[in-house]
Amino acid sequence: MEKIRIKYFTDKIEKLDYIDGKSDWIDLRASEEVELKAGDFKLIPLGVAMELPQGYEGHLAPRSSTFKTWGLIQTNSIGIVDCSYCGDDDMWRMPVYATRDTVIHVNDRIAQFRIVENQPKIVFEEVEHLGNDSRGGFGSTGKQ
């Protein structure tokens, strides 16, 4: 089991908790009240900084209810926090775009993350043919 060193910037949010057996994504909470008008952009502070182990990164995404509840879209779709972002002032933030007027309160669960091992080093080998059957289309359906 990996240990992650974590710094909290406020005592107004619940501490992070890994719920074994439910999901390996961990909820993150807004650490300050944020009022947004439709069309606003904001980096919402999440109130934590972490020292991830070498060779790992954090993947930050909105919770499934974030758009429905607050009308927020994470502007970079998914955020990547590498292990070098581990200083005392390196608070995690969620970049959002508001599609409607909204208010996020302290301790609202707006994001989630998981720790993922970095991709191994790879080398691309150029070939004329891959030698596999063609699916003849786009995506999982194979249809264009």
How many Cβ atoms sit within 10 Å of the Cβ of residue 69? 14
What are the CA-CA distances from residue 142 to residues 17, 136, 138 (Å)? 41, 6, 5
Active site positions, annotated: 82
pLDDT in tens, 13-49: 999 987 776 778 999 999 999 999 999 999 999 999 9
pLDDT in tens, 61-72: 999 999 999 999
* Residue-level pLDDT at 134: 77
* Residue-level pLDDT at 43: 98
* Residue-level pLDDT at 23: 76
Residue 2 has pLDDT above 80, yes or no: no
Residue 84 has pLDDT above 60, yes or no: yes
Tell me which long-range contacts 62-65 makes (C-beta under 8 A, separation of at least 24). 62/94, 62/110, 62/111, 62/112, 63/27, 63/109, 63/110, 63/111, 63/112
Domains belonging to the chain, first-starting first, are 5-10+22-117 (2.70.40.10)
Q: What is the mean predicted confidence (pLDDT) over 112-139?
A: 88
Q: What are the structure tokens assigned to 134, written together?
A: 């063609």
